[in-house]
Each structure stands twice: as C-alpha cells, then as structure tokens.
Amino acid sequence: MATVEDPRIVEFDVRTDEMLINMGPQHPSTHGVLRLVLRTDGEIVSETTPHIGYLHRCAEKIGENLTPRQWVPYTDRMDYLAGMNMNLGWALAVEKLMNLQLPEKAKHLRVIIAEMGRIASHLVGMGTYGLDLGSFSPFLYAFREREKILDLFEETCGARLTYSYLTPGGATADLPAGWLAKCEAFLDGLLPVIDECHALLTNNAIFVRRTAGIGVLPPEMAIDYGCTGPVLRGSGVDQDLRRDGEEWYTHMYDGYAFEVIVEKDGQYPKDHEYPPIPEAAELGDCWHRFYVRMLEVRQAIDLVRQAIDRYSTASGSYGEPIKLSQKLPKGEAYLETEAPRGQMGFYLVSDGSSIPWRVRARSSCFCNLSVTHELCRGVLLADVAAIVGSLDIVMGEIDR
Amino acid sequence: MSGTNLVDQLKAKFPDQVTGADLEAIDPWIAVRPEGLVDVCRFLKEDDQLRFDMLSCITCVDYFEPDEKKAAKVPWDPHLEVVYHLWSVPNKVSLVLKVMLPRWKDDTEGELPEVPSVAGVWRTADWHEREVYDLSGVRFTGHPDHKRILCPEDWVGHPLRKDYELPLEYHGIRGR
C-alpha cells in the first residue's frame, strides 16, 4: 500500500499543467468591471483575454434620440472620473458642426475647468495605482486633494461627479464670486502634496521594483493599437492634442506656455525639479506611464494659473448654452480632444434636425486596454495588476 | 498635403477604387470600394509622405428611415456607411475614409453585408471592427477574432441598426 511518503503520490498532488484563472469582473485591481481570463503556467501568465461590456449602457443609441444638450449628462457617465473633460469633448464636437465660435472668456474658463479635471483624474489614477501595488498612504493623500477639487466643482454646478457644466455653446453658468481665489489657494496647497507623493512612490524602492521594466510598450506597438494620452507619451511618442490636435481644439490653448510631457534623450522637460529616472526603468514601462501622469499634474497646475490670469482680464461672457432643441446644420463632424486618459473623440452626423442621426464616442481607454494581451504575455501573475493599473482605465468609457 | 492632391494621388494609384469624395465637408472624406479598402489603407499607412499610422476610430452609420412617411422624403437610398478616421502621428494630419455598403448582403434581410478587415493594417481595427459588427451588423472578412465585444455572445440583432427592435425577453429578463 502506498504511503504519504511515497514520492509518486506527492508528485501526483502537485499539478503542473496550465490553469485558467478568471480575474474580475468584481476584482478590486481591475478598476471597475473588467474581466480578464488568464492562462497561467504556475506563476507565469502565458495568455490574457480581456472581456468587456459589463457596463454597456447603449450611450450611442441614446444619443440618436436626444438633442446634443440633452446628451451632455450621458458624456459625464462615460469617464466618470473626468466628467468635465468628457463634457468639453462633446461640446467642442457639436460646436465644430455648428461652426459656433466662443468668446475669449469662455475659452479660458474651459481651460481652467479642463485642467482641474485633469488634476483630479490623475490624482485618482496615481492614488489607486499605489493601492494596486500595496501602498495605501498615497491613495489617501491623493483622494484628500481630489476632494477639494470636487468641492470647487460643486460650487460651479452643484454636482460632484456628473457635472454637465460645460455644454455646447459655453458653460451653464459663470464661475461664482471668489472661486478663483479659492482655486489658487488650492493649487498652492497641492504643490507640497505632489512632492510627498513623489517621495512615497516615484523613487520608492518597492514601487520601482514593481513597475520599472514591467509591461514595456514599444512606441510602434502603441501607435498600432491606437494607444493615446499618457500611455502613448510614456512610450516616448511626442503627441499631445493640446498642441498637435485640430485647430478647433488647439486654439483654446493658443498663447499658453507648456511643454508636452515626453521623454527626449533620456530626459523629461526640465521646467521644474522632478525626482530622477531610476536606472531600472525602461521607456514604455509601467513606471514611465506613472511618471508622465505625475508630471502632467504639475503641468496642469501651471496651465490653470495661466488660465486664471487670462480669464480675469478676458472680454466677453462665459458663453451662452445653445437652445435645448437647437436645430443642427446638415453634415458631420469628428473631433478628438486630449482627455486625461487619452484622445477622446466624438463624431456626430446630422440630417438637419435637432436630434443627431448618429452619435459616436471614440473611447481612449478602449484602445489603451486592447494592448493588454500583448503586455501581459509571459509576466508574473502579480504584474498583471501592475500593468492594468498603469493603463489607468475607466470601464464606463470603454463600455459606454 | 491638400485634400485635392490626395484624391488625385489615390485616383491615379487605384483608378477603380475611389468612388467619391467631398472636400468641402467639415472633415473632408474619400469613399473607396470595399474590394480595394485594404490596399488603399496599406498605401496610406506605408507611403513615406502620407504615413497614416494611427486608426482613430471606425464608425458605422445606418442610413435607413423606419418611418414610411418620412422615408419618402429622405434624400438618400437606404445604405450603410463605414467611416474610418485616420491620423498621422508624424504629420499630425487626419483623414476620413468611407466605404458604402448595402444594408443587407444581396438584399436578403438578415444576411450581413461584408467588408474586408483592416486589422492586418492597424491593430486598433481588431476591437473596433468587433464593436461595429456587434452594434451595427457588418461582417469583416478576414478578421482574426470575429465575435461580439460589448453585448453578450448570445445577443440577437444589432442595436445601432435603425430598424432594431428591443427583444421582449432575454434569459428571463423582460424587455420593454
């Protein structure tokens, strides 16, 4: 009779064949309802298949039944961590179709709001990324600061997440009295917090070991998969629609001084003091994607300050929202904007009535996520969370 | 490069494939035949000057008016348009390609129209074509993984078709 000591039994007990592991859709590190099916060989992941659609709400079909202003709240619910930037993308696309020019003041107001939205969004991205990798404190600091932005946004429109503040034609209201001073005070208070986050994460030995050289995305592959935003720039591709996009969008940033955050000759823009790049980091890895976001927060602070100066002296009004049932000119227009997570495109086709014939949202995260199976090939199981976190996805935008 | 030049260049290179263009539109577009789509796309991507190396978006627009009274007044015959928004990272220029398709293959209702897949040219097309198939009902021949992406795999119909009707029941869940 065989005993436990019998080597044959012990050998039989340890399974060495491949195993399918289901991760999500309710897994905390999948950032929402993303489901990944992983084929694993021990600790090594040989194949990753993302399954999406758990948050599909037929936003495009709904858009075919509502006027552009009625659809604004649906854009909030796409990237719900950057609702203001979604509003802006849609508003600009509708204005492009209508050839509606905005007063100077409205443009600067939009820059203030859009860049504040970028800060809020990147703070969440950075905080939860630390959480994914087991570091809890930066998450608390980031959310504390983000909360202050939400308070500021609440003063402008009454909502904390789903704003519908920027609408085709301008904004629903002007900034309240005293808002700019509060905003500037907030920015002053944010600077030391960024340094704290850098100290806690950017050059933290454990964080670097978990992210540097992990999930390297070559620039050609990033372009081939349509990756945009910090994911593209983290791979060293010099593209930011605020500078390179269509005239209809870039004129908002005319005269603003900012450098695109991208590595050139082993260096990032030297406009401020940043922690150095660790030796283990490789262009296109998780660490670089994280670093680009951190630097963009600093860049956004500068942009908001410039916008506040211009807004205070600009002529004109904050813009007049178009009528709820405004008739649209016949035609079609497509416009991409630089949202925090990448290039967010809106396409609308109009037959001349007030309701668009077709509405389409080009999601940045949709494309950014589609590269997962390439990045997660042959990595350790624990690195899957590091890679997916570094893409900074929001499922509401992917599934729409 | 201006739009007119590009159209002339494409017409010279693919004389039978370019079927139309509107250079006065807000976003100027060029229409090509489905048969020539992959060749045109490969040329646009690989040409040294053009270098449209990024596919931003694929959209399908259904031109069909379900209301018979309104249908008599619309200025077009029922058809589908698959719209490709291209972008050149080195040149920072965009381009719109269109492919016109019948709503149903051989006019047989339920048979999906076909267009060749460009997933071999840009990998972005992989997921985007799956989404267009899922929601608008266009079959992409030669696609590496042709299945639904947003709706469940056993979903019936293509919701972004104008004549789509919501199912009355799905796995015991009542619709409408």
Supply the pLDDT for residue B8. 81
pLDDT of residue A359: 94
Nearest to B54 by CA among A54, A239, A259: A239
- Residue among A399, A394, A395, A400 at smallest CA distance from A122: A394
The model's pLDDT over B37-73, given as tens digits with 9 standing for 90+, comes to: 999 999 999 988 888 999 999 999 999 988 888 888 8
B93 touches chain A (CB under 8 A): no
Task: Say if the Cβ atoms of B53 and A360 lie within 8 Å.
Answer: no
Q: Coil, helix or strand for A99? A: coil
Mean pLDDT by 10 residues, chain A (400 residues): 56 70 77 87 88 90 92 91 92 92 90 93 91 87 92 91 90 90 93 89 89 91 92 92 90 89 84 82 91 92 92 84 89 92 92 91 92 90 90 89
Does A370 touch chain B if contact means CB atoms closer than 8 Å? Answer: yes
Task: Name the β-bridge partners of B82.
Answer: B60, B99
DSSP tally for chain B: helices H, then strands E:
4, 9
Q: Does A242 touch chain B (CB under 8 A)?
A: no
A–B interface: beta-carbon pairs under 8 A = 83
CA A321 vs CA A169, A252, A398: distances in Å: 4, 18, 28
Q: What is the pLDDT of residue B21?
A: 81
A196: its two tokens: 């704290």
* DSSP codes, B139-176: EEET-TT-S-SSS-TT--S-TTSTT----SEETTEEP-
Q: Domain A68-399 is in which class?
A: mainly alpha
Domain ranges of chain A: 68-399
Q: Which residue has the higher pLDDT, A222 or B165?
A: A222
Does the structure show a pLDDT above 50 at B1? no
Work out how many domains chain B is built from and give that number.
1
**Rounded-to-integer distance, Cα A92 and Cα A114, Å:** 12
- Find out whether B145 and B129 touch, Cβ atoms under 8 Å: no
Give A61's contacts in chain B (Cβ within 8 Å).
159-160
Q: What is the CATH number of the domain that holds B146?
A: 3.30.460.80
Mean pLDDT of chain B: 88
Label residue B36 by pLDDT band (50, 70, 90). Answer: confident
- Residue B41's domain comprises 3-174
Of A97, A305, A33, whose CA–CA distance to A191 is shortest? A305
